Amino acid sequence: MMISTRGRYAIRIMIELAEKNSSEYIRLKDLSESQNISLKYLESITASLSKKGLIDATHGKGGGYKLNRPPEDYKVGDILRATEGSLAPVACLECDAKPCERAAECRTLPMWEKFNTLINNFFDGITIADLMKNKTESGYFGAAL
């Protein structure tokens, strides 16, 4: 599993929106400039986040994007699943995967299931508020391992 720029940028955008923590909407152009992300790519990312209900969007004069919940209510796992899809390390563990005909005799399935649980628990254990604190590996993230 590799997290794409789409997922990484989405997390950066969410942190910036949280740091602005304003009742006003942040313009896409401002996010694009501050994050050094092309407007077109940013539109795609924010559309995914908005569609999944992670951010509010409004168009026209005074339009833009903002969080609709406090930063501590946003799990990194939810943001990644909104932009990346499943975080499953193998196809047979995808949410919409067909049941594998070899699952009953698969010797590696328990390993992949445990790894999948570790991945999801790790990302679901980190919030945007945690990332705003700028903890290092010896802090929050070291304890999560």
The angle at the Cα of 125, spanning 47 to 15, to the nearest 5 degrees, equals 40
- pLDDT, residue 49, reads 97
Model confidence at 140, in pLDDT bands (50, 70, 90)? low
pTM (global) more than 0.75: yes
Q: Is the pLDDT of residue 136 over 50?
A: no
- pLDDT, residue 110, reads 92
Euclidean distance between CA atoms 78 and 56, whole angstroms: 16
DSSP H or E run through 120: helix 109-124
Alpha-helical segments (H) within the chain = 5-20, 28-35, 39-51, 76-84, 109-124, 128-132, 142-144
Euclidean distance between CA atoms 145 and 143, whole angstroms: 6
140 residue type, one letter:
Y
Average pLDDT, the chain: 89
| Contact predicate 26/17, CB 8 Å | yes
- At 61-109, the pLDDT tens digits run 878 999 999 999 999 999 999 999 999 998 888 878 788 888 889 999 9
Q: Is the pLDDT of residue 1 over 80?
A: no
Mean pLDDT to the nearest integer, 109-125: 95
Q: Which residue has the higher pLDDT, 35 or 143?
A: 35
